[in-house]
Chains A and B, each alone.
Chain A
Amino acid sequence: MAHFYPLSVTDIRRETRDSVVVTLEPRAEDRADFNFIQGQYLTFRRKFDGEELRRSYSICAGRDEGVLRVGIKKVADGWFSSWANDELKVGDTLEAMKPMGAFHVPLEPERARHYLGFAGGSGITPVISIIKTVLKEEPQATFTLVYGNRSANAIMFREELEDLKNEYMGRLNIIHILETEADIDLFSGLLTREKCDALFGRWVNVAGADVAFICGPEPMMLTIAEALKAHGLPENKIKFELFASARPGKAKKETANGKAAASGATCQATIIMDGIRRTVEMPKTGQSVLEAAIAAGLDAPFACKAGVCSTCRAKVIEGESEMEANYALEDYEVERGYVLTCQCHPLSDKIVVDYDQ
């Protein structure tokens, strides 16, 4: 279950014009929960005008640096990233889940592996965590990073990467690709298939690589993966991390709420559980009956929240409703009025839902 822990902001550093690096500290008792693996991310939650948003940011520190740090790049009109860049300050508290994600391979210090990394823009964050960790913990490992950015002043961790290159002499090779500004064709423009082919022919030994990490926008990930495969790297040696967010952004939520308010589309829902009746006011869209029940302080049962397990089953004994998805209930159960409350939205202005039947 999603559990959030408080993290206090101990440092904020402006990394580029539109990105910040935020250092965080868990409470002493939570420290072990935040032992992360290189390449993992944190998911934060924050309320914006009463609506909760959740956003993930990759940890950009090495595993043994002893700090928790994320790099947040401002997305045009982005809610969380703008707030983090413009308003967040030292001393504030952020709420985050434990580190998650599988963008890594287990360390093997005795081996001399060759790694490839491809990062686009803020996609550098998990990759730099991996670079720092493997160069330190696998003494014979080498790493080639291909790093694409719009322009030179947009490059995140530029100095830190230079320092790493000097610290691990000969083991870290960095190829910058800039959309504008570069003099040589090969290193300017977008990372297209042709550019990959040219790079892989001369500058990057793909067939000899043990694993490749790719993190960036969708088209870039597809292009690079295809080129890597064409140059002899098997699919199971390619690790992806996709930053795209399918969570509803603020803009979408606002229109949904706007609609609800405009047609007065709220519902008076009476929820019966363990013999107790409770009536709550809930919107017809944007919140499930289960969420409304939980928000009202009822210990409503659920497990998958995806219409799969039927744990949240209840019977609608008055009013109309509809389900977004149903993989668990049989037709005859639906006919009798049973619903999966995690998928259920009221259609009528009044509804009575009974968890005891």
Chain B
Amino acid sequence: MSEDAAILDYLAKGGKLTSPDNAPSRYRAELMRVMASFVDSELAGAAGFADLINEAPGIGEKTAAARIVLEKIDHAVRVLDIMGEFGANIARYQSVHPWASRIGRHEDIGATRREGDMRLNVFHYPLEGWTDAVTMNVLMGRATVIQLTELARCSYQPLAEAFQSILPEEARHAELGEEGLLRLAASGVGAKKAIRESVDYWRPRVAASFGGADSPRFAMLKRFGLRHNPNDALLTEWSASVDQCLSKIDA
């Protein structure tokens, strides 16, 4: 058996890779893609949220928003460092894309990515004010936790460990969002209506970030041990989690 075939066999049996040397070229490309998608989403998410710091209604909200921005950038850096070990030019990487750029609020891009930057589709849409930002943060926050829990088991051990350490902080971001949302909802009927409108806007867009049910790449990613649960299973889990959260708003 050639060394590559032995490594692929090992991966299929649940083995872990630990250094760039171990990674066969196709595996490496898929791994880089997973990392780039995460990094770009964090950087684009942070850039979008940064504008909202000024719109936050109180000092507590400002602190929460600023902390989310800071930590998302830090999470991107931790994963960028791993990309760097694979030879990526990380200094250049962060300056390649205009992270704060957004498309029109009602353009429809489905699940596609644009112009070579690998951020998840949702991070291309603009936020409209504080309530909208908090709502998006709650919906996407819960999605991020589910997607990261999946990736925290991935077969590239240094990345799995990075995601394990990032996960509780991202979970905290989602919680901060939920606390904010409950406070907004308590402020009156008008606020609840605005939240519902934002939910209607963001829910399908966040759902699209899970990717298609029949993603042809999934089987390969599973063989590589980079993924374990299919997109539609994660989507179902997210949907139930969002319903449970929104029921608190309507209560």
Q: Which residues of A contact B (CB under 8 A)?
A: 1-2, 41, 43, 54-56, 100-103, 218-219, 221-222, 225, 236, 239-242, 244-247, 249, 301-311, 313, 324-325, 327-329
Contact = CB atoms under 8 A, between A and B. Distances in A.
Chain A's interface: helix, strand, loop or mixed, by majority? Answer: loop
B197 to A, nearest CB: 32
Contact of A244 (B3, B36, B161): B3
6 contacts: A222-B13, A225-B14, A301-B92, A304-B83, A304-B86, A305-B86
Contacts of B16: 221, 240, 242
B10 to A, nearest CB: 4
Interface string B22-58: 1111111100110010000000000000000000000
A122 to B, nearest CB: 14
A246 B18 CA distance: 12
Nearest to A303: B93
Given A1-B91, A242-B17, A302-B92, 6 more contacts: A2-B87, A100-B19, A102-B158, A219-B10, A241-B19, A310-B115
B157 interface: yes
Interface residues on B, range: 35 or more
Interface of B: 3-4, 6-7, 9-10, 13-19, 21-29, 32-33, 36, 83-93, 96, 115-118, 157-158, 161, 164
Q: Is the interface of B mostly helix, strand, loop or mixed?
A: helix
Contact of B3 (A246, A301, A329): A246
Contacts of A1: 84, 87-91
Contacts of A219: 10
Given A236-B164, A304-B83, A305-B88, A244 B157 contact: no
B18 A249 contact: no
B116 A303 contact: no
Contacts, number: 132
A245 B21 contact: yes
A327 B116 CA distance: 8
A327 B3 contact: no
A78 to B, nearest CB: 11
Given A304-B83, A308-B118, A325 B93 contact: no
Contacts of B14: 222, 225
B88 A304 contact: yes
B21 A327 contact: no
A204 B174 CA distance: 42
Nearest to B158: A102
Contacts of B29: 306-308, 325, 327
A55 B157 CA distance: 20
